[in-house]
Amino acid sequence: MTTYTPRQAEAIACLREPLQIIACAGSGKTQVISQRIASILAQPDVEPKNIIAFTFTEKAAAELRERILSILEKEDFDTLGLAEMYVGTMHGYTLDLLQRLVPETFKFSVLTEITSRMLVDRSSRKSGLTGCPTSSSGTPYLHRFLHSRLFLQAMSVLREDTVDWDQVPAGVVSAFESYTRLLYEHAYFDFTEMINLAVQLLEDGDDDQSARVVRQHVRNDVRYVVVDEYQDVNPLQERLVRGLTQFGANLCVVGDDDQTIYQWRGSEVSNIVTFKDRYPGVRQVTLGENFRSSEGVVEVGRSVAERIPEDSRLPKAMVRAGHQKWQRGDMIARAFGDEISEAAWICDRLEAMRGLAFSDTAEADPRGLSWSDFAVLFRSVANDAGPLVEEMRSRDIPYVVKGLNRLFDSPEIQAVVGVFRYMAGLISVADLRRLWDLASLLPVNAGWAEALAVLDEGRDFYRGQRWGVYNIQRLYLEFMEVLGLREETVPGDPVRRELVFYQLGKFSQAISDFEQIYFNTDPLQKYEAFAAWLEHQARRYYAESDGDVGYATPDAVVLTTVHQAKGMQWPAVFLPCLRANRFPAKRQGGLGLFHVIPEVAIGEADRYKGTLDDETRLFYVAVTRAQKYLFVSFSPGPNRLYRRRSAFFDHCAAQQWFSTRDNGVPTDAPRLEPRARVDIPSVTLSFSELKYLFECPYQFKLRFLYGFNPPIHEALGYGKGLHDALAEVHKRAITGDLTSSQEAESLVTRHLHTPYAYPELKATLHRAAVQAVQRYLREHETDLERTVHSEKQIQVHVAPGVTVDGRIDLVRRLDTDELAIVDFKSTARAQDEDVTRDQLHVYAVGYEELTGQRADLIEVLNLDEEGKTIREEVEDPLLIAVRARIKEAGDSLRENNLPRLPAWGEQCGKCDLAELCRDVPPSAKSERRAATGR
DNA sequence: TCTCTAAAGTTTTTT
DNA sequence: ACTTTAGAGA
């Protein structure tokens, strides 16, 4: 049983008035939030669906969810309905809210930073980009490609910030209008727009139909809102919080103003600083006890925070409360003459400290420090980490770098990029061959000539075929297939093979991103645009190491940025390269936000500039990551801007806790066998991921770990549209509004979105969808009123760390009064029946966990004319078996044990990626060509 | 202490 | 592509 300090207990027990928890670094914040949510749930009249908990990242959400579940399980709490408690990001919440309650948005899809930029560049006039004026004399208007990033930043700020529209130039206003119009025309949300739309609906009166439904739901169901990392909330997100609590829901915000490090992305510190003045009757609880670090680390952290002017901080004093002891020599500040000796010193230290005895908690037995207990934090990994990486490589110290290697720098990807430079006519066959030899990518018996033939056929743009035929993804996969390039044919050892395939998979992902926007473009232009995009833009966006292959965390020293280290801790932390103009960083030049939107139009515009205070907060975060050992160091950088010491370095060196000389690790210091801290990574699987994992583990690996995507199909969106139309029908049925078959046409018009179809196909699909919906409404006219749930969110916690979540299409009562779980399928080419049955049994397990009710039957209802319906009983042995299979799947995933099927099987015939895995037997070839259109 | 010129340029979540 | 900074020269 966890014991809590009086302050922590006060926060946990405070459930009535608005609560602000000011949580210093290492104060056990997540535990307190989790326990508080458990006490909310313990109240007799509260249901899980009454609770919303916001985190900033998905990772933080997963952690919080796991923590809450473990508390509830320990307290033997009834977890009925728990899937309906929302724990996640604001983006996820608003998207879910809209796509559950506002039928017009069902068909919307989400643009990423990459795809929104492509959209803006592709439609540079319609998006408002090239009509957007600036205040710089050299650049009266923004340019295509060059300024799309800046343009999108301005478009976000206009919605996320408090804007005085009278101060915004008319040209910028009309560019903004063009941009939002373009989004809605294409049924896209960017990351800001989903929150923006939800906020509009929450703030609107009840006269708009959608607003009424959304507000009604919030009024009835939302009773507790918790916001973690409140210091990073921007003004729009603050409005969302306001909107959700406007009908009296309790609000609890948690954060630390000293750890505001994303202000350049819009977070507004004043939200947290003035919270008490903006909400009535706020109870403030300060968690000042730091359980993480030694007194030396805590005191230095406090002194850094005190460099921030008092009037922009909440008053607080962090004190040490943990068991770590400070000893002279634990903290060292050293300056070096050059980068090489600084890197060498860090490596000496790492080697000398490995094996030192260390206790994670007061109770735990000490263990020897291992590689993964050390972190090196940089202000800029991309600019400063080079020399240290070099040194660690030469000494064979295991490490992982986050943010140094760009995917497109590797010779392997340059070889692949060459393929598309060849396609665009920029290089010759000989150049291409040279690139592939240089990357040593060619398999032993590579079919080079055949592969070139594939390219040349693809390059014949005047065959008069439909544009959709010139599919980049298909060409890429076919090129690899014909070349015979598979994971086991990549030259080199298995480690290299895996890495190369991971890179090739990421490239496939990049193609998908591109084709999502450029699918309907004249083929020649499309290939030219792709080559140009690869050359100029793609390289900035795709980092080689941002997804590690597999879920296992290696025992290695972590090299990362301070930003990415937020929320983490290590026994020993190094902060090297503390140079003036780098940390604190100097402001960047160039055309900036204020050339588009004048400073006076934005409240608190300073935060977009990156001030000294912001850098100080970042340094505070860096320092407080250390549990015991902290090493700050300086060496002059390669050019004259970085020759002087950082003020932060001098600050540390002046503190008594630091030694300025290294006397080495004391020879009598206790040592133990190095043993890494064991983290069991938690795995959350969606239904579709689970489906692939059951079907073929290697297919799962190719798709989700490497990132290979099948080519875009022109009819994409048909199944989703049908699905959404029926979802609306059933949701209305629950409220007693039964849809007649005359409405099929308008339902399909609202929900069917087939952006990749050529006009004739579009019309065909529309007709087919209307017929399918009519047929469904006719055949199920009388069932509609027996609809129990539509799109029911479920979640199954299979074992510690293994969760499956997904949605059940429909739950309804049959004439026989039995309860049936229904899943819709819309393609005649239905999946393997075994998998469908497994999947449905997962639904049954989830439904039982959610409602405590047992479903009697599971049904697969095919919406196609000749499609058959599968119906079968829910049986206990199957439920138990499915649970065991999920757990097994989760375990093999964590062990990265994802083998191919032993031989070509029926599933392989339906797998789009089979050729990347093994030879297709001659008997399967013709059938396959028919099925995949190749 | 002022003025001019050359040289340099970060961090990154969100389905 | 433009603003900040260091350092030279006045």
Q: Please report how many Cα atoms fall inside a 13 Å half-sphere around the Cα of residue A256, on the Cβ side.
A: 28
State the pLDDT at residue A848.
87
pLDDT bracket for residue A408 (50, 70, 90): confident
Nearest nt (C1') from A89 Cα: B14
Estimate in Å the CA A613 to C1' B1 gap, whole number.
28
Q: How far is CA A783 from CA A93, A775, A820, A853, in A?
A: 31, 13, 12, 20
- A587: Cβ under 7 Å from strand C? yes
Q: Using the C1' atom of nucleotide B9, identify the protein residue whose alpha carbon is closest.
A: A588
Average pLDDT value for chain A: 89
Helices and strands counted in chain A (H then E): 36, 24
Contact A312, A272 (CB under 8 A): no
Give the pLDDT band of residue A729 (cuts 50, 70, 90). very high
Decide: CB of A644 under 7 A of nucleic strand C: yes
DSSP string across A767-780: HHHHHHHHHHHHHT
**Lowest mean pLDDT segment, chosen from A412-416, A445-449, A815-819, A891-895:** A891-895
Residue nearest C7, CA–C1′ metric: A640
Give the mean pLDDT of A378-387. Answer: 90
The closest alpha carbon to A566, from A402, A406, A685, A350, belongs to A402
| Residues A265-316: tens digit of each pLDDT | 888 888 888 999 999 999 999 999 999 999 999 999 999 999 998 888 888 8
Query: Gap from A217 CA to B8 C1', in Å?
Result: 54
Question: Tell me: the pLDDT tens digits for A898-925?
Answer: 899 998 888 888 888 999 998 888 887 7
A 10 A CB-CB count for A457 gives 11
The answer to whether some atom of strand C lies closer than 7 Å to the beta carbon of A579 is no
Neighbouring C-alpha atoms within 13 Å toward the C-beta of A700: 24
Say if residue A348's pLDDT is above 60.
Answer: yes
pLDDT digits (tens, 9 = 90+) for A213-258: 999 999 999 999 999 999 999 999 999 999 999 999 999 999 999 9
Helix axes A494-518, A411-423, angle to 10 degrees: 40
Domains and CATH numbers, chain A: 6-102+193-287 (3.40.50.300), 109-186 (no CATH), 331-404+551-593+605-654 (3.40.50.300), 410-541 (no CATH), 683-711+719-906 (3.90.320), 907-934 (no CATH)
A586 CA to C10 C1' in angstroms comes to 28
d(CA A275, CA A471): 53
Residue A649 CA to nucleotide C8 C1', Å? 28
DSSP annotation string for A707-727: ---PPPPTTTTHHHHHHHHHH
pLDDT at A834: 56
**Smallest CA–C1' separation from A149: which nucleotide?**
B12
| Alpha carbons A836 and A882: distance in angstroms, whole number | 12
- A247 Cβ contact partners less than 8 Å away, ≥ 6 residues apart: A215, A218, A219, A222
Distance A691 CA to B10 C1' (A): 42
Check residue A547 and give its pLDDT.
47
- Count Cβ atoms within 10 A of the Cβ of residue A588 and give its class: 0-12 exposed, 13-18 middle, 19 or more buried: exposed
pLDDT tens across A94-127, in order?
Answer: 999 999 999 999 999 999 989 999 999 999 899 9
Tell me the pLDDT tens digit for each residue of A644-674.
899 999 999 999 999 999 999 999 999 999 9
Confidence label for A830 from pLDDT (cuts 50, 70 and 90): very low
Interatomic separation, CA of residue A356 and C1' of nucleotide B10, rounded (Å): 35
Interatomic distance A641 CA / C6 C1' (Å): 7
DSSP SS3 for A318:
coil
Q: What Å value separates CA A588 and C1' B9? A: 6
Residues 622-641 of A with CB under 7 A from strand C: 640-641
Q: Which nucleotide is nearest to A637 (CA to C1')?
A: B8
Q: Cα separation of A128 and A141, whole Å?
A: 10
Compute the distance between CA of residue A97 and CA of residue A94 in angstroms, rounded to an integer.
5
A25: tokens are 């670094």
- Cβ–Cβ under 8 Å, residues A347 and A662: no
Residue A550 has pLDDT above 70, yes or no: no
Q: How many CB atoms lie within 10 A of CB A732?
A: 17
Residues near chain B (nucleic strand), Cβ < 7 A? A 56-59, 88-89, 91-92, 95-96, 109-110, 112-113, 191-192, 264-265, 379-383, 402-403, 561, 563-564, 585, 587-590, 610, 639-641
Distance CA A541 to C1' C1 in A: 20
Please give the average per-residue pLDDT across A309-338, as a whole number.
92
**Looking at per-residue confidence, does A744 or A147 come out higher?**
A744
Scan residues 119-148 of chain A and list those with Cβ within 7 Å of strand C: 136, 138-139, 143, 146
Q: Residue A760: is it exposed, middle or buried by C-beta count within 10 angstroms (0-12/13-18/19+)?
A: exposed
Q: In this predicted structure, what is the pLDDT of residue A38?
A: 95
The pLDDT value given to residue A931: 57
The answer on pLDDT for A835 being more than 70 is no
Q: How far is the CA of A211 from the C1' of B1 (A)?
A: 64
Nucleotides of B under 7 A from a protein CB: 7-15
Q: Is the CB of A592 under 7 A from strand C?
A: yes
CA to C1' distance (Å), from A581 to C5: 9
Give the three-state DSSP class for A374: strand
Please count the CA atoms within 13 angstroms of the CA of A148 that sit on its side-chain side.
Answer: 21
Task: Note the strand C nucleotides within 7 A of protein beta carbons.
Answer: 1-7
The SS3 of residue A7 is helix
